[in-house]
Amino acid sequence: MPCLSRRAVLALPLASPALVPALAPALVQAQGSAWRPTQQVRIICPAAAGGTADMMARLLGQHLTQAWGQTAVVDNRSGAGGIIGTQEFLRQPADGHTILSGNIGPQAIAYSLYRNMPYTPARFAPVAGSVRGPNVLVVHPSVPAQTVLEFVAHLKANPGRLAYGSPGIGQSGHLTSVWFSQLTGTEAIHIPFRGAGPAAIELVAGNIQFMWDNLSSGIEQIRGGRVRAIAVSSAERNPQLPDVPTARETMPELAQFEVNTWFGKFYPAGTPAHIVQALNEEMRILAESPSFRQRVEQIGSVSLWGTPEQFSNFVTGEIAKWRGVIQREGLQMDVS
């Protein structure tokens, strides 16, 4: 990082116009690295305690408390698919003291899923991604398919007869199944549950035949042999299941199929750039720490850290992708 002496900074007004543009970015960077909160930091998690969203919020909170010298507390505000917590976040000032621990639901899928969305993407300043992880296609052992090709053939031979579970209508697991069906030309019965846990229980019992489960919640069922993993939804194979192929490598129809459940941090729009950069830098330090890497690997995820611009482009792409899937399905709901 360029360092400016006090004398050099004081001389800036007297410098030639040609030198000022070259020195200004260094000064901005120096200001950004020096920003620190002046009061307690609040990390709003629009999900219940115990899940991956909550975990990512708490890991960041612990890091910021040490790095910034101000307590960073996690405030769980679940409900309405993450919209309630997001609305609470948007009521706070854009001064760097309130962070949103967002995710794929309220920050991507919701814009197309709900008719009466109370906010737009323009109200957020993306800071950086935290982690991303795939969903995994798991089937009950009674399903006579070992590969995606065999599974698609089985679905086509039994149109509308197999049932799949999901954590709820419009959740990542549901829409992953919807997109898979759209691309492969198959149909099955959707049975929504109140969370991935109840759906997995019904799968193990054989009351449903398959589901796209988040790898972090489904890995133990797979390791225990209670369900069979056929494919992961990410673009690359997952280190936790190295022998399980990606869906996109199994058949041409799925060449563009890529789904990741992701989590990231946001500030309200209008937050000064040097504050955004300060949080982004602390997230980089956290992402590169051995303890964070180990924890992320345990849940079958990978780091999603990048610059604010990279994360903003990623979120924009996710919004567009799910808009297409939801519109083709004709799925619409109201925020309750």
Same fold: 41-133+261-329 with 134-254: yes
d(CA 304, CA 118): 27
**3-state secondary structure (DSSP) of residue 136:** strand
pLDDT confidence of residue 236? 94
| Between 211 and 19, the higher pLDDT residue | 211
pLDDT per residue over 217-228, tens digit each? Answer: 788 889 899 999
pLDDT confidence of residue 206? 94
pLDDT per residue over 59-77, tens digit each? Answer: 999 999 999 999 999 999 9
Q: What is the pLDDT confidence band of residue 194, given thresholds at 50, 70 and 90? A: confident
pLDDT per residue over 256-305, tens digit each? Answer: 999 999 999 999 999 999 999 999 999 999 999 999 999 998 888 999 99
Q: What is the pLDDT confidence band of residue 208, given thresholds at 50, 70 and 90? A: very high
* Tokens 């489960």, located at residue: 213
Q: What is the pLDDT confidence band of residue 51, given thresholds at 50, 70 and 90? A: confident
Tell me the mean pLDDT in the region 103-123.
95
What's the CA dihedral at 242, 243, 248, 254 to 10 degrees?
A: -140
- Architecture per CATH, domain 41-133+261-329, reads as 3-Layer(aba) Sandwich (3.40)
The correct CATH number of 134-254 out of 3.40.309.10, 3.90.650.10, 3.40.190.10, 3.20.20.70 is 3.40.190.10
Residue 1 confidence (pLDDT) above 80: no
pLDDT confidence of residue 48? 84
* Residue-range domain boundaries for the chain: 41-133+261-329, 134-254
Phi, psi of 258 (to 5 degrees): -150, 125
pLDDT confidence of residue 53? 87
**What does pLDDT average to over the chain?**
89
pLDDT confidence of residue 167? 86
pLDDT confidence of residue 168? 87
pLDDT confidence of residue 146? 95
pLDDT confidence of residue 25? 41
Reported as type and span, the H/E element at residue 210 is strand 210-214
266 in Cβ contact with 127 (< 8 Å): yes
Instruction: Give the contacts of 181 (CB within 8 A, at least 6 positions apart).
Output: 187, 188
Write out the DSSP string of 150-208.
HHHHHHHHSTTT-EEEESSTTSHHHHHHHHHHHHHT---EEEE-SSHHHHHHHHHHTSS
User: Taking the model in full, what pTM does it have?
Assistant: 0.84
